[in-house]
Amino acid sequence: MERNFEKLAGLKNLVAENDRVTDITDPKWGHPDGRDFWFIDPALNIDTHTLYDPETSAEDKLALGNKRQKGYIDTWWAREHTCEVTKHMAPGCPEEPETPCEVWVVKPKNCKPRKNRVLFYVVGGALVSFNPNAYPIERMCEEHKCIGIVPVYRLSWQAKYPAAINDLHAAYAWMIDHADELGLHPDKVVLSGSSSGGHLALSTCFRLKRYGYSPRGIVTVSAQTDDREKDCYSTYTGIWDSTEQHDALMEYMGRNFASNRVGPEAMPNHATIEDCVGFPPSFMHQSEMDPDIFNNIEFYTKLLKAHCFAEYHVYGGAHHNNGVFAVVKNCGEPNELSLRVASVFDSNIEDCFKYDLRRPWVVEEYKAMIEEKIALEDKKRNQREYGITPERQEVLNDRQDSLCLELRSERVSIELELKEIRERSNN
């Protein structure tokens, strides 16, 4: 099958939509104030596709991937930085202890970071590219007066799932373990990522949940949430369509692709409603023409049903890796639309830092705590006090009975909530 970027290579103002070529200079295309941002030359995607093309050998992928990666990273370190950027090595996570992960720490030079704030940013790139030059990480750190943590995770041509999640887990654990020397607080961590970076950030949250970590919030752009392609929006958009997404996720997932064998740590929308209970406050940004938009909406709905704090923003006329990406990528000159979108994006990150919108990770843990309190108070009820009258002892017993009644009532409420969550999950 000839892909859209191959058909359109060399053409400047055209995108493919449902196998039709559309002139994006037509005012009907996208938002009139943002048309320049809706388009990225499809030819840019040709090399990227080679890295997840099933007809490309593993040796060729490794050679091309290493060459591209070296170019991106050399460019990053050679350029003039507005922030102080240092390189560190995090030991492997418990799931893969022998494999360390490189971590970059970004600290603003021109402004003092607000106390303990940190942005854990996951760079995107179709799961096959790591190009920090394409994302204004330093701008975001300066804008929000925070320290940036950028994990250099393994890509699909290097290792399959769960390698990337293991690396992000390792980087997060290292960050928490070195919080004092880094000048941050474990309670002020916000995750963010775009495209595959958004997908990995969401999936990593499920891993962090399992290990007891509680991020302050998460803000994503055009994240992929499902590999099973149900209700997949098939509109061809020139730079990223359902065909490209299928191939990229298949390369990442390997034998687990489109399988129910894996849970939300692989793909967020594999989660049940019960899995989502206590998920971090989530702000999701998506483009109308993104092939994964309906899967995103399904995942967002699960968050709401699990009583999580969540917001979802959709931008009309925009396609994946553009439109909204004008906010987080260094492309073009700002206009009124891009500035408005950037304002929403930045306000979401700021809300995560400013407010604690989190709900309990796991309701069962709260239930267990209540039951422990009940057992303790019941024990006190049966203890006899010396040196007091029988009347005084009866008063104390009544108080204990009243306290235990309140605790048992709270336990019943929790059990009802759990039952409701499980019923919604099964429907």
Q: Is the pLDDT of residue 118 over 90?
A: yes
How far is it, in rounded angstroms, from Cα 63 to Cα 214?
38
Long-range pairs, 391-400, Cβ under 8 A, ≥24: none
Average pLDDT rounded to a whole number, residues 233-247: 65
Extents of the domains making up the chain: 43-354, 363-426
**pLDDT grade, residue 288 (50/70/90)?**
confident
How far is it, in rounded angstroms, from Cα 181 to Cα 24?
50
Average pLDDT rounded to a whole number, residues 267-289: 91
CB atoms within 10 A of CB 359: 14
Q: Is the pLDDT of residue 350 over 80?
A: yes
Q: Is the pLDDT of residue 280 over 80?
A: yes
Q: Tens of pLDDT along 55-69?
A: 889 999 999 999 989
- Geometric angle at alpha carbon 166, from 353 and 349, rounded to 5°: 15
Indicate left, alpha or beta for 228 from its phi (over 0: left) and psi (-120 to 50: alpha).
Answer: alpha
Q: Tens of pLDDT along 1-42?
A: 445 445 445 555 555 444 455 555 565 666 777 666 655 555
Helix H or strand E segment including 235: none
State the average pLDDT for the chain. 81
CB atoms within 10 A of CB 9: 14
Q: What is the pTM of this model?
A: 0.80
Helix H or strand E segment including 409: helix 390-426
Q: What was the pLDDT predicted at 114?
A: 62
**pLDDT grade, residue 394 (50/70/90)?**
confident
Average pLDDT rounded to a whole number, residues 124-128: 89
Q: DSSP string spanning 273-328?
A: HHHHTTPPPEEEEEETT-TTHHHHHHHHHHHHHTT--EEEEEETT--TTSTTHHHH
CATH number of 43-354: 3.40.50.1820
Q: What was the pLDDT predicted at 126?
A: 86
Greatest mean pLDDT range, 152-161, 237-246, 287-296: 152-161
CA distance readout (Å), 119 to 176, 232, 253 = 13, 31, 27
Please classify residue 184 by burial: count the beta carbons closer than 10 Å to its beta carbon, then call 0-12 exposed, 13-18 middle and 19+ buried: buried
316 versus 87: the higher-pLDDT residue is: 87
Q: Which residue has the tokens 């590999």?
A: 227
Q: Is the pLDDT of residue 97 over 90?
A: yes
Tokens linked to 253: 């997932």
The residues pairing with 88 across neighbouring beta strands, listed in sequence order, are: 103
Q: Tens of pLDDT along 352-370?
A: 999 989 886 655 666 676 6
CA nearest neighbour of 88 among 102, 78, 75, 100: 102
